[in-house]
Amino acid sequence: MPIEVRPLSSAIGAEILGVDLSQPLDNQAWSTISAAWDKYMVLFFRDQHIASEHHIEFSRRFGTLEEYPFVKGIPGYPELIDIVKMPDEVKNFGHGWHVDMSFRERPPLGAVLYGIEVPPVGGDTMFCNMELAYDTLSDGMKKFVHTFRGVHDSLDPAGHSQKYKGMSLQKKENLTWEHRSHPLVRTHPVSGRTSLFISPDYCWEIEGMDAKESRMILDYLEAHATQPEFVCRFRWQLNSIAVWDNRCTMHNALNDDLNARRTGQGFKRIMRRSTISH
């Protein structure tokens, strides 16, 4: 069957049909997938029955892989981590709008996420188009974001340990607290397009401003970037895959397990992730 690219929303995201990621991709298939990724920023694949080797092989088509800094890799595959929410937990790992590891000097290129155990409803992931967010700013705000830098903070690495019952979160040797500034805009190294660069989970201040001034502007930029017109929502199913471009998107794993909030008996969710460094 020919590969079909089906947009998920008008702003961002597309489903890819007619491909089996447990099999090697030929040049034509990869060319179609790569072009769709450049255009839609996040791609989704359904009904993919992949082993860890396939996950890694597919991820490496996008770039070099790196280990996730705060989570132990699965046995035999340090590049892969399991993201787990237990039935009595309210929050998903990765909740809140963010750019992955924006506190790094060079944040990751992207990630590949595979649904191993998903609930019948809930646990969806939202993605937003940061190029569109920049393009639709007023001329005055564009001048502002080109002038200033946001301060990104990893917080204490020890604080990432043992927050989630089903995950192997622990402080690794030589892991340091990372705190650095980045411009509020960045240019995509492949497309040359400009995008807004905020990361609400990690970026709380603007250089040269006090906390109150920073919060007012960053809150506005977050609300602007995540308005419904700029967003797609992916409903996970078993054996689904999402791959996103971390250089021009933000994402948010929704905390929408209301049964866990009300009764302590919600859903379990297990996702397997690889991180693409460059």
d(CA 195, CA 33): 22
Among candidate residues 149, 224, 269, 273, the one labeled active-site is 273
Rounded to 5 degrees, φ, ψ at 145 are -70, -25
The set of residues, in sequence order, having a beta carbon less than 8 Å from that of 34 and lying 6+ positions away, is: 61
Among candidate residues 100, 201, 245, 257, the one labeled active-site is 100
| 3-class SS of residue 84 | strand
d(CA 35, CA 172): 37
Cβ atoms 255, 94 nearer than 8 A: no
CA-closest candidate to residue 237, choices 146, 71, 125, 117: 117
Among candidate residues 55, 82, 98, 152, the one labeled active-site is 98
CA-closest candidate to residue 238, choices 81, 114, 91, 126: 114
Is 98 one of the catalytic residues? yes
Is 100 one of the catalytic residues? yes
d(CA 94, CA 244): 14
Is 47 one of the catalytic residues? no
- Token couple for 124: 């969806």
Cβ atoms 74, 272 nearer than 8 A: yes
d(CA 67, CA 173): 13
- Token couple for 109: 């290129």
CA-closest candidate to residue 107, choices 12, 44, 197, 169: 197
Among candidate residues 104, 152, 182, 251, the one labeled active-site is 251
- Burial class of residue 47 in the structure, from the number of CB atoms within 10 Å of its CB (0-12 exposed, 13-18 middle, 19+ buried): exposed
Q: What is the largest CA-CA distance in the chain?
A: 57
Q: Cite the active site residues.
A: 98, 100, 251, 273
